[in-house]
Amino acid sequence: MSVRRGADPGTEGIRSARDDVGPIPRKNVGPVAWFDIRKRGLGQFAFSLNRLTGLGLVFYLYLHLAVLSTLFRGQEAWDDFLGIATTKAFLLLDVLLVFGLLAHGLNGLRLALIGSGRGIDHQKALYRSCQVIGTILLLGAALHILGGD
Amino acid sequence: MSAETQTTRRIRVFRYKRGDDEHRYDEFDVPVSERSTALDALRWIQLRQDPTLALRHSCFHASCGTCGVRVNGREGLGCVTALSDVSGDTVTIEPLANLPVLNDVVSDVTPFMERFPEPHPYIRKSEFISEADTPDDVDAYGRFEDCIECGICLSACPVAATDDTYFGPAALAYAQRMLEEARGADREALLDWADSEHGAWRCHASFECTEACPSDVRPAQRIMLLRKELGNRKKEVSS
Amino acid sequence: MAARTTDATTSAPAGRSRTWVWTAGTGVALLALVTIHMVAHHFVVERMGGLRTYEDVLDYVANPVMFVIECVFLVVVTIHSMLGLRSVLFDFGLSDRAKRLTDRGLIALGVLTVAYGFLLIGVLASRA
């Protein structure tokens, strides 16, 4: 079997030896593939959640800076904001934030370990541990944030 | 001896011929038994229903890697994907993702092969059984590596789904395997090749390649080991 | 053996692994920094959600240790965010030119983010 050599994926991308090949089937449209966990393994779920929470947290970073800008306007403006921020609905969003932080942070720790070649054969167990630890911490945080004590 | 129970399954097959504007799906009712595989169904269709159906296969026992397809969205070798393990009223058989289609369920593996660093030996001599006697007409034993180059890992990879410049799990796993047993290969050149935005650092550890691999290559694990090598090399350079 | 050479426009080998090392390193640092930040702003003040009033915020920022920690947190979280965004954007298989533009854009965004955050915390510290 002869195989054409010499293409550099770094610059040329996917190519074919023939000019008349057909379409390139994709399982999803573009980045939807990053979040499609149907019939996929635990690692895909971890990757998808990590990406989703990462993007969510970047959005939150700027939302947070925008909200904190209220402080520029002084005490009254901030107290008005606190009136909204201490409602149950808003505090639920804080719990969602904690979920995002835990999901991204704990899995990130797992990725730092396996990405540097440690615990590679136990990546599923590591993720299950992250899920257990994260759930416990999330429950504790939620009880505190929503319970008001 | 009791006869195997025969049932009928609806098989939905991806169809594309060169020159077509776009692909379509054809459906066939195929008699299957408990042990029928996806490849069996495709061959039945080709022999009994539609001789224009193109498919590729060789060994029938998961060692050549040529019959890789997607069955109901999951990658696998057609010759060992039992239809009895596939749920649903209709079984959809499609070519591998992230590679161009040549013909129906046959993918063009050239872009897959081109991702490997050069040279890419298909067979390497084994040193492990050097004490063993070879027959008179055989100079030395050859050993096949685990990877059967089926392309299934590339189809399963969520990064390859959006980035056609990513080297992919098979090529990177191959590089790591070469580092384990260099046998004269240029280790530094291999590491330079892998140390790329298109290489080891593009992987996001979804482990889908390992899940899908029919040959226990564990490419994701090997990519992580490759990263460890790259990290160690960086430390050696800076120290 | 000759490995396929990478194209001249990609960064040096050390640069590529450095990106990952910085992403992982800032991520690990954030485990501590985010914990401190979240505890300070949700678990210290006795009120619904632990949220601080305006006076509480000024008191908090007036503490030099917390001031420094929050500044470090801002820088680290911005670096991690920009590197994460970079990784996501690069997964689209960008051209080399697009990658260079992305890098410049993210550096600019990161600098602006940190600058604005420093402005915010600086103004609050001056009011404390």
In this predicted structure, the answer to whether residue C7 has a pLDDT above a threshold of 50 is no
Instruction: Name, of A49-63, A71-85, B136-150, B216-230, the range with top average pLDDT.
Output: A49-63
Which among B196, B197, B206 is the nearest to A44, CB-wise?
A: B206
- Residues 99 to 138 of A: which have CB under 8 A from any B CB? 111, 114-118, 120-121, 123
Q: What's the CA gap between A43 and B169, in Å, rounded?
A: 15
Q: Cβ A40–B211 below 8 Å, yes or no?
A: yes
State yes or no: pLDDT of A14 exceeds 70: no
Q: Is A19 on the interface with B (CB under 8 A)?
A: no
- Rounded CA-CA distance A64/A31 in Å is 26
The number of domains in chain A is 1
Q: Does C88 touch chain B (CB under 8 A)?
A: no
d(CA B19, CA B33): 36
- Residue A47 has a pLDDT of 96
Kindly state whether C8 is in contact with chain B, defined as any CB-CB distance less than 8 angstroms: no
Mean pLDDT split into 10-residue runs, chain B, 239 residues: 77 94 95 95 97 96 94 96 94 96 94 81 55 66 72 96 93 89 79 90 95 93 92 66
So what's the pLDDT on residue A147? 79
Domain architecture of chain B: domains with CATH: 7-107 (3.10.20.30), 110-238 (1.10.1060.10)
B121 backbone dihedrals φ, ψ, rounded to 5°: -70, 135
Q: Which two tokens stand for residue B167?
A: 């080297």
Measured CA to CA in angstroms, residue B93 lies from A80, A109, B154, B155 at distances of: 59, 38, 17, 14
Residue A18's contacts (CB-CB under 8 Å, 6 or more residues apart) are B102, B108, B110
Residue among C35, B134, C18 at smallest CA distance from A102: C35
Q: What is the topology classification, in CATH, of domain C31-127?
A: 3 helical TM bundles of succinate and fumarate reductases (1.20.1300)
pLDDT at position A130 is 95
The pLDDT of residue A108 is above 90: yes
**Domain of A137, in residue numbers:** 40-147
Cβ distance of C24 and A71 shorter than 8 Å:
no
Sort B62 into a burial class: Cβ within 10 Å, 0-12 / 13-18 / 19+. middle
What confidence score (pLDDT) does residue A23 get? 87
Using the Cβ of C3 and the Cβ atoms of chain A, whether some distance falls under 8 Å is answered with no
Q: Band of the pLDDT at C84, cuts 50, 70, 90?
A: very high
Cα distances (Å, whole numbers) of residue A78 to A68, A145, B156, C28, C48: 8, 19, 49, 32, 15
Task: List the beta bridge partners of residue B10.
Answer: B29, B90
| A111 near C CB under 8 A | yes
Average pLDDT, stretch A47-70? 96
pLDDT number for residue B28: 97
Tens digit of pLDDT for each residue in B105-164?
999 998 998 888 876 555 555 555 656 666 776 665 554 568 899 999 999 999 999 999
**CA B64 from centre of chain:** 9
Question: Would the pLDDT of C9 be above 80?
Answer: no
Across the interface, of A30, A86, A101, the residue whose CB is closest to C34 is A101
> What CATH number is given to the structural domain containing A90?
1.20.1300
Q: Are A3 and B112 in contact (CB under 8 A)?
A: no
Which pLDDT belongs to residue B127?
55
Which pLDDT does position A22 carry in this prediction? Answer: 81
- C88 pLDDT above the threshold of 70: yes
* Domain residue ranges in chain C: 31-127
Q: Which residues of C, range 11-50, sit inside 8 Å of A by Cβ?
A: 20, 24, 27-28, 30-31, 34, 38, 42-43, 46-50
Residue A98 has pLDDT above 60, yes or no: yes
How far off is chain A from B151, nearest CA to CA, in Å? 13
CB contact under 8 A, A144 and C34: no
Across chain B, which distance is largest between two alpha carbons, in Å?
A: 72
Q: What is the DSSP letter of B167?
A: -
Distance CA B154, CA B160 (A): 6
pTM of the model as a whole: 0.86
Q: What is d(CA C40, CA B53) in angstroms, rounded to the nearest whole number?
A: 66
Look at B202 and C92 and tell me if their CB atoms are within 8 Å: no
Residues of B with CB below 8 A from C18's CB? 234
Cβ-based neighbour number of residue B16 at 10 Å: 22
What is the per-residue pLDDT for C8? Answer: 35
C18, pLDDT greater than 70 = yes
Question: pLDDT confidence of A18, banded at 50, 70, 90?
Answer: low
* Residue C105, helix vs strand vs coil: helix
Cα(A58)–Cα(B15) distance, integer angstroms? 42
Higher pLDDT, C8 or B117: B117
pLDDT at B133: 67
CA gap B229, B179 in Å, rounded: 9
Examine the pLDDT at A7 and tell me if it is beyond 50: no
Report the C-alpha gap between C91 and B197 in whole angstroms.
Answer: 10
- Of the listed ranges A42-51, A76-85, B148-157, the one predicted with least confidence: A76-85
In a 13 Å sphere around the CA of B149, the CA atoms on its Cβ side amount to: 18
Give pLDDT tens digits for C39-75: 888 888 777 667 888 888 898 999 999 999 999 999 9
What integer is the mean pLDDT of C20-31? 95
Residue range A34-41: mean pLDDT, rounded: 90
In this predicted structure, the answer to whether residue C127 has a pLDDT above a threshold of 80 is: yes
Report whether B97 contacts B168 (CB < 8 A).
no
Residue A22 CA: distances (Å) to CA of B15, B53, B97, B221: 11, 15, 12, 33
Q: Is residue A51 part of a domain?
A: yes
Q: Render C34-55 in DSSP notation, one character per residue.
A: HHHHHHHHHSSSSSGGG---HH
Q: Is residue A31 part of a domain?
A: no
pLDDT at B180: 82
Alpha carbons within 13 A on the beta-carbon side of A108: 27
Among the partner residues A34, A82, A101, nearest to C51 by beta-carbon distance: A82
Tell me the residue ranges of DSSP E strands in chain B: 7-15, 24-32, 68-71, 74-77, 90-94, 101-103, 106-107, 124-125, 142-143
Asked whether residue A132 is domain-assigned, the answer is yes
ipTM of the complex: 0.85
d(CA A123, CA A116): 12
